[in-house]
Amino acid sequence: MKYLCLLHYDVAKFDTLAPADLEAIGKDCKPHDEALRRSGQVVAQGSLEHRTAMTIRPRGGKPETSDGAIAATVGAFLIIEARDLNDAVRVASLHPAARTGEHLGWAVEVRPLDACRVGGTTAALFEQPSP
């Protein structure tokens, strides 16, 4: 079964970090990133551009677009493969955001997926059976 992990952070705190702080954080994260990768349970991962977001809401049957995010705290995401929720939490706990970054407001939100298809062409996405 697949799980989506949303990695949250404090956007305002991130803005106050100096390049040296960011470099130090990168070094702190590295062994955790490697442990996570070694689990072999990461299906996909991505990091999002800081502070770039658009929101679309239906208004009178038409999409209305505005600048900015809805939650504004998501900085990265992972899709992991796990036996059950406990196993997913164990894997998510390897991520740097679960191990460090308390002062940066880091946290990992683990969400079970009913259905998930990743990769290939759009057509292939809908042809392959959902695992």
Residue burial 88-127, b: 16+ Cβ < 10 Å; e: rest = bebbbebbbbbbebeebbbbbebeeeeebbeeeeeeeeee
60: contact with other proteins by CB under 8 A? yes
Region label for 102, one of left (φ > 0), alpha (ψ between -120 and 50) or beta (otherwise): alpha
User: With CB under 8 A as the contact rule, which of the stretches 13-21, 23-31, 101-109 interacts with other proteins?
Assistant: 101-109
In whole angstroms, the minimum distance from the beta carbon of 28 to other proteins comes to: 11
Query: Is 112 a binder of other proteins (CB under 8 A)?
Result: yes
Q: In the set 55, 87, 129, 131, which binds other proteins (CB under 8 A)?
A: 55
Q: Is 129 in the site for other proteins (CB under 8 A)?
A: no
